[in-house]
Amino acid sequence: MKNSKDKKRFIALGLTPSLILYTLFMIYPTIKVFYESLFKTGGLSGKRSFVGLSNFKLLATDKNFIRAFQNTIFLIVIVTIVTIVLAIVFASILSREKLRGRNFFRIIFYIPNILSIAVIASIFASIYGMDQGLINGFMRLFNPARTNTAFLGDRMLVVYSIAFAMIWQAVGYYMVMYMSTISQIPEHLYEAANLDGAGKMRQFFDITIPLSWETIRTTLTFYVISNINIAFQIIKALTGGGPDGASLTLLNYQYEQAYTNSSFGYGLAIGVVVFIFSFVLSAIIHKLTKRDIMQY
């Protein structure tokens, strides 16, 4: 009995510092954001007035907010799907096929993940540049009279250009995670499938995907949420939300309202929407991807 009480006391003492820090730096700031979103305030000016849900009502008619929301959803859907699919395909190829220089390819694919956002933005600014950009320069080799394309200055192309940069940055990281999972799948399962006449594609969908599903499910949820933050950083460094707000996402618009336009309460209202949106999205993904775990 005494040992049981000592054990509970030890667990409580061990958890208390973490709970205090979590409350101070996570729970309290979150509650504070919800509370401050009910005010109209200039941030550090000290002038504030209670407006209730007015900030949230304004969001429903704010065209820039709606466009930022649409861009956020687009990047979440397109970037996540393409990134996860490419990562699992590349991981399967590098894990299952006897390719020369597999370790070299692993390193090359992973390098973008260790680069800072500033470096990535510089790389793609050089790739997408109007006059000296790599893509426009390459296209002029075939058609010298061709008009240069403003990838980051065209309202129709800018979001796609950002999506490509985000995919390039993330594929290697998730590929390495999937390679770790695939390497643990017993070889005899693939040998048995070969004897039954199953081809590479059939093995991929019937063995690799099902036995890697828990890892895919976890990384899918993780990347969807981190996608929102990564998009903010890349857009902030690459386009600043331009041209004319065409590449704004929710976090970029929140930053713009809170710290550029000094509409701090309105910016926090956008932050509340981001929080709720992320939470609901995580719950939906968790529900949709739930399935029985296959053992091997």
pLDDT digits (tens, 9 = 90+) for 100-143: 777 888 888 888 888 888 899 999 999 998 877 888 888 888 88
CB 80 within 8 Å of CB 227:
yes
- Element holding 137 (H helix, E strand): helix 134-142
Identify the weakest region by mean pLDDT among 147-151, 154-158, 207-211: 147-151
Question: Does some domain include residue 31?
Answer: no
- Is residue 250 domain-resident? yes
Q: Which two tokens stand for residue 261?
A: 């336009």
Beta strand segments in the chain, E: 39-41, 48-50
Q: What are the φ and ψ backbone dihedral angles of 13, each rounded to 5 degrees?
A: -65, -35
pLDDT at 42: 60
pTM score, whole prediction? 0.87
Q: Could you tell me the two tokens for 27?
A: 């729970």
- Residue 162 in contact with residue 238, Cβ under 8 Å? yes
Compute the distance between CA of residue 155 and CA of residue 269 in angstroms, rounded to an integer: 26
Residue 101: inside a domain, yes or no? yes
pLDDT in tens, 161-179: 999 999 999 999 999 999 9
Residue 147 lies in a domain: yes
> Is beta strand 39-41 parallel, antiparallel or unpaired with respect to 48-50?
antiparallel
CATH of the domain at 145: 1.10.3720.10
- Give me 155's structure tokens: 């309202």
Any domain includes 154: yes
Show the tokens assigned to 289.
Answer: 């991807």
Q: Is the CB of residue 241 less than 8 Å from the CB of residue 13?
A: no
Range of the domain at 109: 54-288
Whole-angstrom Cα distance, residue 86 to residue 173?
A: 11
How far apart are alpha carbons 175 and 90 in whole angstroms? 7
CA distance 30 to 189: 48
Alpha-carbon dihedral sign for residues 275, 280, 281, 286:
positive
The predicted pLDDT at position 76 comes to 92
Split at pLDDT 50, 70, 90, the class of 43 is: low
- Give the list of residues 6+ apart from residue 232 with CB closer than 8 angstroms, or none: 249, 251, 252, 255
Q: Does residue 93 belong to any structural domain of this protein?
A: yes
Provide the number of structural domains found in the chain.
1
Write the pLDDT tens digit of every residue in 235-265: 999 998 888 889 999 999 999 988 877 788 8
Would you say residue 166 lies in a domain?
yes
Give CA–CA dist 122/117, Å, rounded: 9
In a domain, 39, yes or no: no
What distance in Å separates the CA atoms of residue 3 and residue 6, rounded to the nearest whole number?
A: 5
